[in-house]
């Protein structure tokens, strides 16, 4: 390779996405994707383990790429985070999710909606006002929106993020700690924060039937969350046996392929829920 300037935009076929030049191409395409409505949201239900009913749905973004087809977030979120596009992306996701929620509400469903937000969003001054403004625009009660934040976003040095959590909660918007158990949150950081929901990471849930260490962790997280006044949701539930074990252990809600893969909202709940524990 010869020397390249940072403004050269060249696609090298076969080179992987980590290549800086390839990233520039993806970033340019993403800017267009946001303005041309190439992004789509799929929704995955959160099921109450006692009643078996859908209580909420989580919005998961996909990119309907004109050449490459429907791309999962792992294919483009890293480029989004690196390029300052996370702000317009989150804004797009929130608008779309609240608009979709207004439609399912009009058809008689009371599901709350969960939206994933990044640490960068929380650190940005004015984020709370922005979200409150969107809720007002859509006529949505704040408690019907939950923002899912990964543990690392709440790490000790992210004081702005912690303040945002406090401000959002004060407005009635729920905060969920995603992928719990995989990050670096200490108990003392959680203590000071009003958390509506803790989500137990799929890596602990998937082998809970045969791995005593995972059982111990899941039980401890349930006790911790309940002790802090939070609900607990298990992610990655793929079998009725795991759902049954979680219900026995006192877990509140579950999500996973057992109930449904993420689907367009009109397809949520058109199947019968078979995995709910009695």
Please report, as ranges, the residues that interact with Ca ion according to CB under 5 A.
Answer: 116, 148, 178-179, 235
Find all residues with CB under 8 Å of 96, minimum gap 6, and list them: 39, 41, 59
Nearest approach in angstroms of CB 61 to ligand C2E is: 4
Query: Residue 235 in contact with residue 205, Cβ under 8 Å?
Result: yes
Tokens of 225: 């969350």
From the list ligand C2E, Ca ion, none, pick the one residue 122 interacts with, judged by a Cβ distance below 5 to 8 Å according to partner type.
none
From the list Ca ion, ligand C2E, none, pick the one residue 118 interacts with, judged by a Cβ distance below 5 to 8 Å according to partner type.
ligand C2E
Nearest approach in angstroms of CB 148 to ligand C2E is: 6
Point out which residues pair with 197 in neighbouring strands.
Answer: 176, 231
Measured from the CB atom, is 9 or 70 closer to ligand C2E?
A: 70
Measured from the CB atom, is 86 or 222 closer to ligand C2E?
A: 86
Which residues of the chain form contacts with ligand C2E (CB under 6 A)?
A: 44, 59-61, 72-74, 77, 93, 116-118, 148, 178-179, 202, 235-238, 255-257, 262
Q: Of the candidates 232, 229, 225, 222, which has an alpha carbon nearest to the alpha carbon of residue 254?
A: 232
Nearest approach in angstroms of CB 256 to ligand C2E is: 3
From the list ligand C2E, Ca ion, none, pick the one residue 147 interacts with, judged by a Cβ distance below 5 to 8 Å according to partner type.
none
Nearest approach in angstroms of CB 125 to ligand C2E is: 19
DSSP letters for 214-265: HHHHHHHHHHHHHHTT-EEEE----SHHHHHHHHHTT--EE-STTT---B-G
Strand pairing category for 112-117 and 69-71: unpaired
């Amino acid at each position: 390779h010869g020397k390249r300037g940072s403004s050269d935009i060249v696609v090298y076929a076969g080179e992987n996405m980590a290549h800086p030049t390839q990233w520039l191409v993806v970033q340019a395409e993403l800017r267009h994707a946001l303005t041309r409505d190439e992004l789509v949201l799929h929704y995955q239900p959160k099921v109450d383990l006692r009643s078996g009913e859908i209580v909420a749905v989580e919005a998961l973004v996909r990119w309907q790429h004109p050449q490459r087809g429907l791309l999962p977030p792992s294919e483009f979120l890293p480029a989004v985070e690196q390029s300052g596009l996370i702000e317009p992306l989150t804004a797009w996701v929130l608008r779309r999710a609240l608009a979709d929620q207004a439609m399912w509400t009009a058809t008689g469903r009371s599901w709350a909606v969960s939206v994933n937000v990044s640490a960068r969003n929380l650190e940005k001054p004015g984020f709370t006002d922005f979200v409150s403004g969107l809720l007002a625009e859509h006529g949505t009660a704040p408690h019907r929106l939950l923002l899912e934040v990964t543990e690392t976003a709440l790490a000790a040095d992210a004081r702005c993020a912690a303040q945002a959590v406090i401000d959002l909660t004060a407005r009635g918007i729920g905060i969920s700690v995603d992928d719990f158990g995989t990050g670096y949150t200490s108990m003392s950081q959680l203590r000071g924060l009003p958390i509506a929901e803790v989500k137990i990471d799929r890596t602990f849930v998937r082998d809970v039937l045969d791995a005593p260490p995972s059982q111990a962790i899941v039980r401890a997280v349930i006790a911790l969350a309940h002790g802090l006044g939070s609900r607990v949701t298990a992610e990655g539930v793929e079998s009725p046996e795991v759902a049954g074990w979680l219900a026995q252990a006192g877990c509140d809600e579950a999500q996973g392929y057992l109930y449904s893969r993420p689907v367009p909202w009109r397809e949520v709940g058109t199947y019968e829920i078979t995995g709910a524990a009695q």
